[in-house]
Chain A
Amino acid sequence: MRRVKAIAICTALEAFRRRTIYVVLFFALALILFLGNASFFGLGVQEKFLKDFGLSLLSLFGLLLALYLSPGSIQTDIERKTIYNVLSKPVRKEDLIFGKFIGISIVILASFAIMLSILVSFILIRGGSVGLGFLTASALIYLEILILVSISIFLSSSIPTVIGASIVLAIYVLGHMKGGYMKELKGDVASNLARIALSFIPSLYGFDMKSIAVHGGVIPTLYLLQILGYWIIWVVIPLWLGSILLGRKDL
């Protein structure tokens, strides 16, 4: 655990000290401030708009952060031989992979916390309310981004950064589109083949509960438990496979 913690802290510090992350945050906050002050709507709809926009922004900027931080996380270390200094010590590959994941998660969590607190402040200042549903929807978006981080790190252990980032972006889009297609699948051979192919894309649409949250609804507890179980599988398995691939690789 000490090793995982050390790698996580190092990863987080490296990310926090890069200027790019602050540029991303600046744009996100600028958008929130601009649109938070704009009065396009009547009172009730303004609140809904802020919530809709805020959650979409969290998703979009979370994706940007994930694409920036994760795909090169292992590859860059290999190219710069930094990884030699780490893995030449009695460190398991799993320690490195999970440490990187936790470090990047911390950075994204901090960014989300900043964006969300500004957003919630705006909503409250405007006389709106922020319920548990909204906060839960925000948390689900965070979990969704972490799945992308996990897949990125898995890919980063063996393929170049740009290709990894492109694949993750494609997974983001396909993962959201998947829900609309799954319902159309019947029991025939083609549908079953499609079902098998789709099973390799995480169901990111399942983490999108914006339309309930912004209308003040509550996300069912059973659904939350199911999505959490799904999340655990889609985070742990790619990271574990990433550590296996890294172990098989000659550095």
Chain B
Amino acid sequence: MLGDLIISARELKKVYGSGILGRRKVVALDGVSFDVFEGEVFGVLGPNGAGKTTLFKILLGLAKLTSGKATIKGIDISSRDARKSMGFVAEESYYYGHLKLKEHMKMMADLVEFGGTEKDMDDLLELVGLLPWKDAKISTLSRGMQQRFGIAQALLGDPDILILDEPATGLDPIGRREIRDLMVSLKERGKTILYSSHQLSEVEMICDRVMILDKGRPLKISSLDLLIGGLGGFEIVASGVRTQDGDELSGLCSSVLRKGERVVLRLDDESLLFPCIDILKGMGARIVSISPVRESLEDVFIRLVRGDEEG
């Protein structure tokens, strides 16, 4: 069940000028509209150059809208107050390397006029597993640790919304797992998270709803269940199917694949399941397994983006 509306965006458009005197126009966002509700994890997906980072920058006031309107908890994004409810972790960003972790936390705390104590800041560092390194210089930390620090500093002031722009980029599998676990725990705390990533398997695990962008336009906004919940047909594995019977089966199946003694049949149309079973029985073949096929998020993503390109 969705919470209250927390982010509202209508017809967001961003055009960059490039070249001499900015004559060449590049449309980064072209009429993006979406809503985000309290407590959900909202994935923003898209190929490179789709406009994900531009969208985040606009919400955070780091770039200016060409046209459109967006609000954060009812406050227009052009107001500095809108940023009080948000924490941000940029993709592959660096921090002030000569500062110690605790000094950098203190600085970030002052920027949000954090009312907590040093212990509260230590608690945040502990949440991301960095408390033992609080006296270490940022430059001595690994990339993964710096990303975790990024999340800690984003949580200062207890913002309602977290925007994470590809937080797992450049991390090894352990680092990515740590970030994912953090996000799950933040979600359980009731945070609203806007999350972009190229790791679609992770998006599948964490996000409630996703928006797929391509060339600055939203291709799809949907809950994950609806997006990838539908059946994509069946896969039947059978043995004892003679070669000459293959022709009869290929009329029903979208693919017939021979693997040694066994045959793997792919049925896209669910209604053809039982007729296919009857045919196999009539051949005297033995059915080894029948399993439903679901589209993965990656499949949906590629289908939508490729369809958009061809369209």
Contact = CB atoms under 8 A, between A and B. Distances in A.
Given A2-B110, A6-B107, A90-B80, A14 B57 contact: no
Given A6-B107, A91-B111, A250 B92 contact: no
A250 to B, nearest CB: 4
Contacts of A87: 60-62
Given A88-B86, A92-B80, A251 B62 contact: yes
Given A85-B108, A88-B86, A251 B93 contact: no
Given A6-B107, A90-B84, A251 B98 contact: no
Residue among A17, A89, A92 facing the most chain B CB atoms (10 A cut-off): A89
B88 A10 contact: no
Contact of A89 (B93, B98, B111): B111
Contact of A6 (B57, B81, B88, B110): B110
Interface string B92-123: 11111011000110111011110000000000
A92 B113 CA distance: 13
Contacts of B62: 84, 87-88, 250-251
Interface in B180-232: none
B111 to A, nearest CB: 4
SS class, residues of chain A in contact with chain B: helix
Contact of B108 (A18, A84, A89): A89
Residue among B80, B96, B103, B112 facing the most chain A CB atoms (10 A cut-off): B96
Nearest to A251: B62
A2 B114 CA distance: 10
Contact of A86 (B63, B84, B92, B111): B111
B112 A250 contact: no
B34 interface: no
Nearest to A88: B88
Contacts of B110: 2-3, 5-6
SS class, residues of chain B in contact with chain A: mixed
B83 to A, nearest CB: 4
A6 B60 CA distance: 21
B39 interface: no
Given A90-B83, A90-B84, A81 B98 contact: no
Contacts of A92: 80
Contacts of A250: 16, 57, 62-64
A84 B16 contact: no
A85 B61 contact: no
Given A88-B83, A89-B112, A7 B94 contact: no
A243 to B, nearest CB: 13
B119 to A, nearest CB: 19
Interface residues of A, number: 26
B113 A2 contact: yes
Contact of B107 (A7, A90, A248): A7
Contacts of B88: 84-85, 88
Interface string A77-100: 000111011111111100000000
Contacts of A89: 83, 108, 111-112
B161 to A, nearest CB: 11
Given A7-B107, A86-B111, A89-B111, A14 B99 contact: yes
8 smallest A-B Cβ distances: which pairs? A6-B110, A81-B93, A88-B88, A17-B98, A80-B94, A250-B63, A84-B90, A89-B111
Interface of A: 2-3, 5-7, 9-10, 13-14, 17-18, 80-82, 84-92, 248, 250-251
Interface of B: 16, 57, 60-64, 80-81, 83-84, 86-88, 90-96, 98-99, 103-104, 106-108, 110-113, 150, 153, 163
Given A7-B107, A14-B96, A84-B90, 13 more contacts: A5-B110, A14-B98, A81-B94, A82-B94, A85-B88, A85-B150, A88-B61, A88-B86, A88-B87, A88-B163, A90-B80, A90-B81, A250-B57
